[in-house]
Amino acid sequence: MENRKFSRLQRIVVKVGSSSLTYKTGKLNIGQIEALVRQLSDLHNQGLDVLLVTSGAVGAGMGKLGIKQRPRTMPEKQAAAAVGQGLLLHMYEKIFAEYGLVVGQVLLTREDFADRKRFLNARNTLHTMLSMQIIPVINENDTVAVDEIKLGDNDNLAAMVAALVDADILMLLSDIDGLYSDKPGQPGARIIHEIHEINNEVEALAGGVGSAVGTGGMATKIQAARIAMHSGLVTIIARAAEPNIIRRLVAGEPAGTVFWPSIKLVNKKRWIAFSATVCGQIYIDEGAARALREKGKSLLPSGITGVEGSFEMGNTVSVIAPDGKEIARGIVNYASAEIQQIMGKQTSEITRVLGYKDYDEIIHRDNLALE
C-alpha cells in the first residue's frame, strides 16, 4: 500500500490505553511509556501541537496497592485511581523533563463537556497550554466521577478532546492492531486498513470490552472514530507496542486502521451532537423529518407529535423520527411543558395557547445537529 496522504497535520491527540501502559501485574510498563514519550517529544520539537490522553490510573493504583483483579465497585476504583493518578503523572513528568518539556495535568468529566460554559473554558485552557508549549496530559477524573458523569472510557474522551481543540488527527493506541474483518486469529481474518463510513457492517465487527485492566475495546474505538469523523478529524487505531508507531503514522505509513473524516460539523453543532447531555426526546411526523433532513429547516411546533422527559429552555434534546430512530439533536427554545401545549399547532397559534411567543421555532436550524 502507498503511504497515506494527510492534507494537514499540526495538532495531534494521542490516546494510550491501560494495557499499553501497565504489565499484567498492574505495575507501570516504564519501557513502553519512555518509547511513547520519546516519540511525542520529537513531534513537539518539530513544531507540532501534541496532546496526550492517558489511561492507566486505576491500573497503576492496583499495582501500588497490590490488587490483582480490577476493582468492581466505584469507591474501590476511585481509591485505586487516587493512588495511581499521582504515580502516572509523576512518571510522565519525569520522562518528558528528560527531553526538556513541561507537562500539565488536565482531569475531565462528562460535565466539563455537557455544560457549554465549562466546555468553552476547557477549550480555552487547552489552547493556552499549547500556546505556552505545555504538553497536556489528560485523563478522566476517575477519583470523583460517578456513573452519571463518567465518560466511560478514554477512547471517547480522546475523541471529544480532539474535537474540542480542533485537532487534525486522533491516534487510538492500545494492544489492538486495528479493525479486523473477523476475530483476529481466525482463518481469513485480515486487518481493514481504510474506512470511509461507519455503517452497520463496521459496527458488527467491533467486539466487547477490552483487557482486564481497561474499560474500552473495539466498540468504544468505533464510537470515538464516529465522533472524530464528524468533527473533520482523521482517526487511526494502531498497536502502541509497534516500534516508532506514532512517528510512522504521522509519516503516512499504512499501519493500523484509518477512518477518514466525513462532513465537518461546526463547533457548536459538534458540541450539541456529541458533548451536550440529552435531557429528553421530541417525536416528529414524517413531514417534519423530511424538512429537517432534506431542506435544512428549523423544527416548528406543527411537526411535533410527542414529548418525553422533563427539560427546560436551553437544554439539548433528541429528535425522533416516526420510525423510532434519532435523526437529530438540538437546543430547545421552549420547556417540555410548553411544547406539550403547542405541539401540532401552527406558529401563529403559539401566543393564543401560551399567552406569549418568544420564538417561532422549537429548535432553530442553527442549534440543530443532524445524525
| Residue type at position 22 | T
Per the listing, cell 401540532 goes with: 344
Q: Which string of DSSP letters, residue by residue, matches 147-199?
A: TTT---SHHHHHHHHHHHTT-SEEEEEES--S-BSSSTTSTT--B--EES---
Tell me if 260 sits within 8 A of 229, measured CB to CB: yes
| Gap between the Cα atoms of 142 and 162, Å rounded | 20
Cα Dmax for the chain: 71
Detail the residues annotated as belonging to a binding site for substrate.
55, 142, 154
φ and ψ of 346, to 5 deg:
-75, 155
Would you state the torsion angle of the CA atoms of residues 253, 256, 259, 260, taken in this order, to the nearest 10 degrees?
10
Detail the residues annotated as belonging to a binding site.
15, 55, 142, 154, 174-175, 215-221
At a CB cut-off of 8 Å and minimum separation 6, what does 77 contact? Answer: 58, 70, 71, 142
How many Cβ atoms from other residues are within 10 Å of residue 46's Cβ? 10
| Gap between the Cα atoms of 76 and 156, Å rounded | 23
φ and ψ of 103, to 5 deg:
-115, 155
Tell me if 328 sits within 8 A of 364, measured CB to CB: no
Exposed, middle or buried by CB within 10 Å (0-12, 13-18, 19+), for 201?
A: exposed
Detail the residues annotated as belonging to a binding site for ATP.
15, 174-175, 215-221
Tell me if 370 sits within 8 A of 333, measured CB to CB: no
CA distances from 198 to 50, 192, 329, 330, 341 (A): 27, 13, 19, 22, 39
Side-chain half-sphere CA neighbours of 272 within 13 A: 26
First to last CA, the chain: 33
Would you state the torsion angle of the CA atoms of residues 113, 116, 122, 123, taken in this order, to the nearest 10 degrees?
110
